[in-house]
Structure 1
């Protein structure tokens, strides 16, 4: 009994995990990770710079895109220290406080990104279904207020998580299966009853990401109903939504897969959860600036002009 008590109070760190069985080649694996982070940070920074400096890109669609770029930068910065720390053999230990802080930022930013994708869907809905009132509906003040409401919503619902985790005692081998901290995994390391955390996490997911994805789906149903009468108009309208649809799929598909794997995939291969985790956090910040740069003619032309000069 004393040994268990000692473990409870003396273990003050979690151990992060890279790719099991591949420790000898972690340095080489770090190279694609470094490239992904570099592309994510440079790509999103370029998007922000171009939108800020070009007054022609100060439309609501590009303002929402700049907000998405800020969120993606935050996600990349919040995960980079621990992921590269493991693959560059710096450290695989993370203190409880640092772990709780990291999961707070990761989950908060993920919820904010979900909300931002909803606002971008609303932007496309207004532009296609009510174009004459587009500028009067999506004013700068209204955009700022909507963004602030969703940011505060995300921070408010995630804020209790570190405190709910801090009240636990951790008496097991605190080895996490990812290179970063997630609430659904950290709570499983506790030797206490985690029912409250599990239910609260499920409620958060349903009331935020669940509702956001539902409203995004409904917005596209309304868009299709509006433009279905004209085949040419339908294709033209859907073409303006391709980039947003790609961003939605890149965000929600890995998130759903990872959630299912953590909650119901006890017998699933560990490598599957690890790969889903990396896709979930690293691919959207990497691909969003690329997709939007390719699909947005004005943005692409401005970026090319900036580098050609």
Structure 2
């Protein structure tokens, strides 16, 4: 936990320093709304869409995933043919299919668009799940792609990043002006200290909003998986996960698109990318058949 806090503080400090440098280089005055909005949009959306653009490359690099170009065995042949069939049913271009070495039962989807994506499963999943359960997991990930979740998350994150940057500096300007007695001129060190703290506070609330949408998106992908593979198979897959679940080892860049996420209580629960598995299973059981069908965007 201390390591995460230190990393969070260091990241915010680095962003604050970089924002100040860029504004100076481009002659943007943080005291003007136009300059602030330009800077906020540049950093708010720039980072999100850069991450989206390199998401496939980054996922392969960080997980060591092996993309199946030519199936080497019957298991890989089944993976490719199953994803192809589901992609056709969902109306998307065939994703790349990969396997990565990890003991946990997990899978993820990523990529910059519905027609340029990657679906990967862990070796742990292939060992622990039967074909029906694995088919449902693949359907869940294909549904993420078909629903355009990667792009939507990038847009939401960009909006939230921009909001945090603007609000922290506007509020920081007001607080600094009050403390300094309304002095004119360039902001002092106090202003930057205030903004640093506000970046973290507002950033925490922004993360809660992003994770709320991420949890909603998981319910939708479960419904899409049930539509593509069958409700009983999707429920069985989630039940298997609940019986054998361990902490995810997926890198942060793709963890939100895995089939399972963390567990937590209180504040930590608000920052979870996935709902509890019990809630996801119950949602599928309670949903009318008509509500499960057609939940994949085509």
TM-score in terms of structure 1 length: 0.30
TM-score in terms of structure 2 length: 0.31
More strand by share: 2
Higher relative contact order (CA 8 A, sep 6+): 1
